[in-house]
Structure 1
Amino acid sequence: MIEQNPGHSAWYIERFRTMAAEGQDLDGEARLVDAMVPRRARILDAGCGPGRVGGRLAALGHDVVGVDLDPELIAAAEADHPGVVWLTRDLAVLDLVAEGMPEPFDVVVSAGNVMTFLDPATRVDVLRRLAAHLAPDGRLVVGFGVGRGYEPDAFRADAASVGLGEELLLSTWDLRPFDPASSTFLVAVLVSP
């Protein structure tokens, strides 16, 4: 996206800042993840963008690390949500243990169509790296729109290929069930290998 549309990041940042200023509900993803874990859980926000989800989870008392490839989005996350660890990193080669963060995560969340923005050649690598950061009983929560170049069946096969098990499939962040025939969005809760 950065290569195809250099102005996309600035537009995206302002879009969500405007929505927040208007009082729109931007916390659906964070509410779901928060309900899945105890207070002070370790949460990795993978593809965090400007920090909307991770910032809210940190405000709720969780230990959050946010990672995104785009330095402009990370700068916005740092400005809007200080006190959280925000890192510019490539999810396909992410290795936080090698960077001195050995403690695994209770949840890894990847919201906002992150998986559909990835280079298709890196999707399995990203899933493998995210799974590697999970605690033994950890969960990976991924949400993205159907019809954006990464169909749910392909995603589910890729997740299974790296040992991730399916715990729950939803069509919305507010817990509506996933219907392969009619759902336009997938929220997958996967369990660590």
Structure 2
Amino acid sequence: MSSRWERIARETVGDDYARAYADRFRSMAERGQDIHGEATFVSELQAPPARVLDAGCGTGRVAVRLAELGYDVVGVDVDASMLDQARAAAPELDWRLGDLATFDLGERFDVVLVAGNTIPLLEPGTLLDACERLGHHRTPGGVVVCGYGLDAEHLPGDCPPTALNDVDAAFGVLGLDAVMRYNTWDGHEFHPTDGYAITLYAEPRR
């Protein structure tokens, strides 16, 4: 059975969606656009050679950049065709196939990065399990970073929005608080009406 992401991608882009997705960002970079906002954000949180898990890594754009910056990075994704693109782009990096609601890499990371609308694209009813698994892969004192669209304008296809309160509550079960929230990867102040949120989840500050 295909994932929610695969269904939406095929409906909106076609069967060759993984290659199209990789080509889109490659073309943007060739036009001089900055496609590395997520990696830059991570670099301002934690210096290399910190360990970073790119959860929902897709075609590997963010993980490849993090590796270039000197991070010890692992990419995991549920979509084998997206991972094929990642492996073709950077065969030397560590790419894993896994469902975020059930995966266990047996490792811990200083930063668990969940970008690219991965949260709203989770399968229905799996948010709590996925947040538990993501938090489980965080080192003590580490952080989970989630960035995703909050409305139809910022989400692909017919993907339903996921409320921030629901994600906050799911991480709260693990004892993690939403310690910071931004509107963009370059750190703009968060406004709920702007349709996108980047949230840092970590242990409460004492």
Same fold per TM (> 0.5)?
Answer: yes
Equivalent residues in 2 for 1:147-158 (5 A)? 147-148=151-152, 149-158=161-170
Question: What is the CA–CA distance in structure 2 between the aligned matches of 1:81 and 1:190, rounded to whole Å?
Answer: 29
The residue type equivalent to 1:93 in the other structure is: T
What TM-score comes out, normalization by structure 1 length?
0.90
Match of 1:49 in 2: 58
The residue type equivalent to 1:185 in the other structure is: Y
The residue type equivalent to 1:12 in the other structure is: Y
Structure 1: give runs of 5+ residues left out of the alignment.
none
Question: What is the CA–CA distance in structure 1 between the aligned matches of 2:126 and 2:18, rounded to whole Å?
Answer: 21
Equivalent residues in 2 for 1:108-119 (5 A)? 108-119=112-123
Question: What is the CA–CA distance in structure 1 between the aligned matches of 2:118 and 2:174, rounded to whole Å?
Answer: 18
Question: What is the CA–CA distance in structure 1 between the aligned matches of 2:144 and 2:48, rounded to whole Å?
Answer: 18
Question: What is the CA–CA distance in structure 1 between the aligned matches of 2:129 and 2:203, rounded to whole Å?
Answer: 15
The residue type equivalent to 1:106 in the other structure is: D
CA contact under 8 A between 2:59 and 2:85: conserved in structure 1? Answer: yes
Task: Say whether residues 1:139 and 2:150 are aligned partners.
Answer: no
Deviation at 1:14, TM superposition (A): 2.1
Question: What is the CA–CA distance in structure 2 between the aligned matches of 1:138 and 1:118, rounded to whole Å?
Answer: 23
Deviation at 1:165, TM superposition (A): 1.4
Of 149-158 and 128-137, deviating more is: 149-158
Question: What is the CA–CA distance in structure 2 between the aligned matches of 1:13 and 1:192, rounded to whole Å?
Answer: 35
Q: CA offsets per residue over residues 32-53 of structure 1, 9 Å max, x none?
A: 1011112210000000011111
Match of 1:29 in 2: 38
Deviation at 1:80, TM superposition (A): 1.3
Of 42-51 and 115-124, deviating more is: 115-124
Task: Say whether residues 1:189 and 2:193 are aligned partners.
Answer: no
What SS does the aligned partner of 2:105 have?
A: coil
Question: What is the CA–CA distance in structure 2 between the aligned matches of 1:143 and 1:111, rounded to whole Å?
Answer: 5
The residue type equivalent to 1:24 in the other structure is: Q
Equivalent residues in 2 for 1:172-187 (5 A)? 172-180=184-192, 182-187=193-198
Question: What is the CA–CA distance in structure 2 between the aligned matches of 1:11 and 1:164, rounded to whole Å?
Answer: 36
Deviation at 1:129, TM superposition (A): 0.3
RMSD: 1.6
Residues 1:71 and 1:62: Cα distance change in structure 2 (over 3 Å)? same
Task: Say whether residues 1:72 and 2:84 are aligned partners.
Answer: no
CA contact under 8 A between 1:140 and 1:192: conserved in structure 2? Answer: no
Deviation at 1:2, TM superposition (A): 1.4
Deviation at 1:66, TM superposition (A): 0.2
CA contact under 8 A between 2:18 and 2:85: conserved in structure 1? Answer: no
Question: What is the CA–CA distance in structure 2 between the aligned matches of 1:151 and 1:17, rounded to whole Å?
Answer: 31
Deviation at 1:3, TM superposition (A): 3.4
CA contact under 8 A between 1:142 and 1:187: conserved in structure 2? Answer: yes
Deviation at 1:166, TM superposition (A): 1.5
What TM-score comes out, normalization by structure 2 length?
0.85
Q: Structure 1 segments of 4 or more deviating over 4 A?
A: none
The residue type equivalent to 2:136 in the other structure is: A
Of 19-28 and 134-143, deviating more is: 19-28
Task: Say whether residues 1:106 and 2:110 are aligned partners.
Answer: yes
Number of residue pairs matched by the alignment: 187
Deviation at 1:77, TM superposition (A): 0.8
